Amino acid sequence: MNSSLSIRHLLGLQGVPAGDIRAILDTAVEFRQLLDRPVKKVPSLRGLTIVNLFFENSTRTRTSFELAEKRLSADIVNFSSSSSSVQKGETLLDTLKNIESMKIDVVVVRHKGTGVSGFLADHTNAIVVNAGDGAHEHPTQALLDMFTIEQKLGSLQGKRIAIVGDIRHSRVARSDSWGMTTLGASVTLCGPSTLLPRYREDFPNVSWETDVKKAVAGADAIIALRLQKERMEDSLLPSMREYRNYFGVTEEVLEQAKSSVLIMHPGPINRGVELDSEVADGEHSVILEQVTNGVAVRMSALYLLSGGRANG
């Protein structure tokens, strides 16, 4: 396996060279094959210690990272902010320094604050992997989305991807846009005008649409985003019903896309709002495959960022 990247940390996909993205996706192919074998564990990161530093709840992402780390034979420390000294007033930097004094190698961090992963990377000798920071980026989710599309369609080059939903608050939309356009895909972002970002400089080389049927016309893949009600002001949407009527991905909407279109979602799904159940569970859905692929992609990222320097 290739064991070199030009980046030291995985903080986002903005500015990450195509070669690094390609290396992670190609190496993930090998790890994905491993997950189908009776013995799913390799000694690649034996001797390394990884801390999962989660300040936000996230069952899927946290479980996926933990499985990836265990499959690579790393030693794992799970940090929960709800039971930590953070609740007693300890600063984020103090928390990091105390954990770092335990001789850790990698920090996987999820936090509601934008830029936290970058802040930690500036103040630690450990490798930092961003598992989602505020409304900034979620790079491993984008990488698993890209991996799933390539697994099904062969390449991202020239593919048309429609991302529909709460673009304004979505770190997934940002990372998907950066990563997919870097590898040659055409990305259209669609949502109510109130859920589109005020400043669009973070989304270069994409198209914008407020009509979902136009957005998905000829699409190879549709990524529906979760409505992040916890981040919204009450006035941004009249109602969930109205959102579903105008922006929900229904079977009627799918008629505008390619007959081979992929249906994707980062989860958890608000059924009957972002996706109708018939679509989420239908023949075009690869949502559960995204979950499986997420373990392989995170194994790949952790392995390559560590330089394969353990007993691999």
Annotation: binding site for carbamoyl phosphate: 60-61, 110, 138, 141, 267-268
β-pairing, 49-54 vs 75-80, is parallel
* Structure-block tokens of residue 291: 């979950």
Amino acid 151 reads: Q
**Closest-CA residue to 261 (of 271, 253, 272):** 253
Annotation: binding site: 60-61, 88, 110, 138, 141, 171, 226, 267-268
Q: How far is 32 from 17, CA to CA, in rounded Å?
A: 23
* Structure-block tokens of residue 86: 């953070």
* Structure-block tokens of residue 80: 């929960």
Q: Which residues contact 118 (CB under 8 A, 6 or more apart)?
A: 11, 133
Q: How far is 297 from 26, CA to CA, in rounded Å?
A: 9
Helix crossing, 171-182 with 139-153: angle to 10°?
50
* Structure-block tokens of residue 245: 């009527």
Q: How far is 159 from 161, CA to CA, in rounded Å?
A: 6
Annotation: binding site for L-aspartate: 88, 171, 226
**Closest-CA residue to 183 (of 146, 213, 148):** 146
